[in-house]
Structures are given as structure tokens and as C-alpha cells.
Amino acid sequence: MKREFMKILEHTSIANDTYRLLLEGEMVQDIVDPGQFVHVQISDDFYLRRPVSICDYNRSEGTMTLLYKVMGKGTDALTKKEAGGFLDVLGPGGQGFPLPGDEQTHALLIGGGIGVPPLYNLAKQLNDKGIRVTSVLGFQTKADAFLIEEFESFGEVYVSTNDGTLGTKGFVTDVLSQLESVHDTYYACGPTVMLKAVMDQLEEVPGYISMEERMGCGIGACFACVIESRDDKGYKRICCDGPVFDAKEVVLS
């Protein structure tokens, strides 16, 4: 991981309390997998950095896209950063989504709310490999929805909203129960309660989940981000062993 003051090329609102940052810098060349994250220093007023997934990146242009939702004081202060300024970023961090081998042909992507962004570059890379992509995107309400057209350019997209203002009324799991099971791998990111429900529902399918739980140091030193695992140690750190895990390796409670 390296620290860099990345130039903010664009900073725009894309949905209810949701913003898109387009950043430029050398760090883009170090991104290995879709699903990695950066650790953002908001300002001196905030001791801890805030983790944000890399939504997309373009190596030849040296740019990366972050999408974030205002959740509290840190992300609210982030909205005040202006294009033309710089953002203090540490990254890229963590282990991202492994791309499937030649035997896999159909991937199911499941994103909940602000868990949707890290799936975007994954969808792009799967599509480039000729793998069929089906996406199930869940939001609280229509005003919160984003990236739907972008995901449609890679394959079929199903949307759910809690209040039924867009797509199926309910949760992503309500959509999953109506889908024909022809996918051979799944990739999911969203709140832990959603990930647990998805893991239970797709128990028979090989899958990967990305955790967006709270972090401290972001570099493996503080153990603020541990989750239960089935390996010898009995735990894994989201910041460095994840945020992406094989669904069979971890236990969500």
C-alpha cells in the first residue's frame, strides 16, 4: 500500500446521498484485482481513515472511480472536497475478487446498496472474458439506485427496492428465489445481514463475498476488523485477508 495525494478530477452526486469521485494518480497502476479498496483520510479532524472500494479504474488514463454514500460525519465531510483539489489516499488495499477459470461460464453478481460499487469493475472484467453476467442489485428506494444502466451493458439486471418503487418489492434474496439457477459462481457485496442470507440461499454454489464492516488501521495491525473463519487461526482480518473471502471460508453471525 502506498500513500498518495490523488487529484480529484470530478466529484458529482449520482443518487440520494451518494457521490462519485474520479481520482487521478500513480496508485492506479498498483491495482491487482476488482474489489480492492482505498483508505481515505478525510481531514485532520478525523483520526481514522475511511475505507472505500475501488469501483472502476483505467490504467492508461491513470484514473480510478470511487462511489460513496453519506453515512456519518466522515463521509459528510468528504462531500465538501472539490474537483481540482487533492485527496489523501492509502492503497490499494486488501484481496479482491478472483476471476473464474475457463470452466466457469455464468456469474451471478449480487450487490446491496453501497455494496454495489466494487462489483462494477468485476462485471466489466467478467464480460471481457466472455463470461455471462447476471446482476441483482438491491436498494432501499428508487432515489437510492445507481449504476443500473452501466450493469445492463454487461448482461441482464434485476433490481429490488425495499419499498417497491423500482423493480421487485423486497430484498435481493426475493429476486434470487425467482431466478433460474444456471450460474456457476456468485459474487456478493453488501450489508452483513444480506451476505448471510445470500450465503444460506446459494449454499450449493461456489461464491465470494466482500465485507464492508468497520475498520481501524486498514493494514492488519489493530485486529478491529476480524471475522470468524474456518481456518486454523479461527479468524480473518477484513482489511488484509479480505475484504473478499471465499464464502465457504468464513462464518457470518
Ligand X SMILES: Cc1cc2nc3c(=O)[nH]c(=O)nc-3n(C[C@H](O)[C@H](O)[C@H](O)COP(=O)(O)OP(=O)(O)OC[C@H]3O[C@@H](n4cnc5c(N)ncnc54)[C@H](O)[C@@H]3O)c2cc1C
Please identify, using beta-carbon distances, which residue of 147 and 239 lies nearer to ligand FES: 239
CB of 202 to ligand FES, least distance (A): 27
- Give, as ranges, the residues between 198 and 217 that touch ligand X (CB under 6 A): 212-215
Strands 18-24 and 63-69: antiparallel
72 binds, among ligand FES, ligand X, none (CB under 5 to 8 A by kind): ligand X
What character string, x for contact with ligand X (CB under 6 A) and - otherwise, covers 27-46? ----------x---------
d(CA 60, CA 131): 24
Min separation Cβ 226 and ligand FES, Å = 7
The upper half-sphere exposure of residue 78, i.e. CA atoms within 13 Å in the direction of its Cβ, equals: 31
221 binds ligand FES (CB under 6 A): yes
- Per rule CB under 6 A, count of chain residues that contact ligand X: 21
- Residue 223 is a binding residue for ligand FES (CB under 6 A): yes
Is residue 83 at the binding interface for ligand X, with CB under 6 A as the rule?
Answer: no
Among 143, 192, 224, 249, binds ligand FES (CB under 6 A): 224
Q: Is 171 in the site for ligand X (CB under 6 A)?
A: no
d(CA 44, CA 63): 25
Q: 52, 131, 137, 175: which one contacts ligand X (CB under 6 A)?
A: 52
Contact window for ligand FES (CB under 6 A) among 1-9, 78-86, 108-116, 231-239: 231-239
Give me the least distance between CB of 241 and ligand FES, in Å please: 9
Q: Which long-range contacts (CB under 8 A, 24 or more apart) does 31-34 make?
A: 31/57, 31/59, 31/64, 31/92, 32/92, 32/96, 33/95, 33/96, 33/97, 33/98, 33/99, 33/244, 34/96, 34/97, 34/118, 34/119, 34/121, 34/122, 34/124, 34/125
b/e per residue 56-65 (b: at least 16 CB within 10 A): bbeeeebbbb
In 3D space, the residue among 1, 3, 2 whose CA is nearest the CA of residue 87 turns out to be 3
Q: Which residues bind ligand X (CB under 6 A)?
A: 37, 50-53, 67-69, 71-75, 114, 117, 212-215, 238, 243
Q: Which residues bind ligand FES (CB under 6 A)?
A: 215-218, 220-225, 237-239
